[in-house]
Amino acid sequence: MFGLFKRNRPTLLPDEPIEMKVSIEIDRPADEVYALLDFADARHQLRARGNEIREISSNPLEYRLWYDLAPDLNFLFRVTEAVPGHSYAYACSIVPPVGRRLGSHEAYTIEPTGEGSCTLTFVNTITHRPGLTEEELGDEVAKSSVAAADALTKLKIQAEFGVEAVEGYERELGQR
């Protein structure tokens, strides 16, 4: 009976990164899809949509993105792997940090599936601030899942139909 008035304290989870993996089929050659991921390439998906990307260090190779949808944030990327036409990976941090996320490592693998198509696999390993509750972690997983699916959808649309099609998709979702 006295237990009815005890305060229910949330259980804290271990401070381990979460990993998400998503794949998508794209009807474009692997080299063209790789160009959309490579920060150094003028065809990079965000650069082609009007955002500014600059190299800020060559050793290690680092870039900064000025993202038009979040002009007050600094998006910093340290390239950890770059194999043209096959894989591209980077550590990402946002300054100042947004929400509970401290940073992530985003890895893309491109596998040709035919003469003009490929499968793009995205593995995102996300680190959060220490001491998340089960509910908070669930919220983060949900947000990250939606963001990953949306990012790959936009990449596919851009690869297959161009920048204007992505802009139409964003308008339809109310992202612009």
Distance (Å, rounded) from C-alpha 144 to C-alpha 132?
15
Amino acid residing at 110: I
Cis bond leading into 96, ω under 30°? yes
Please tell us whether the domain made up of 18-170 is placed in CATH 3.30.530.20: yes
The answer, yes or no, to whether residue 4 has pLDDT greater than 90, is: no
pLDDT given for residue 133 in this prediction: 87
Average pLDDT, the chain: 90
Q: Which residue has the higher pLDDT, 137 or 63?
A: 63
Measured in whole angstroms, how far is the alpha carbon of residue 139 from the centre of its chain? 17
Percent of the chain with pLDDT over 90: 69
Give the start-to-end residue ranges of the domains of the chain: 18-170
Closest by CA to 69, choosing from 150, 159, 137, 162, is 150
The answer, yes or no, to whether residue 124 has pLDDT greater than 60, is: yes
The answer to whether 30 and 16 are in contact (CB under 8 A) is no
Q: Which helix (H) or strand (E) holds 20?
A: strand 18-26
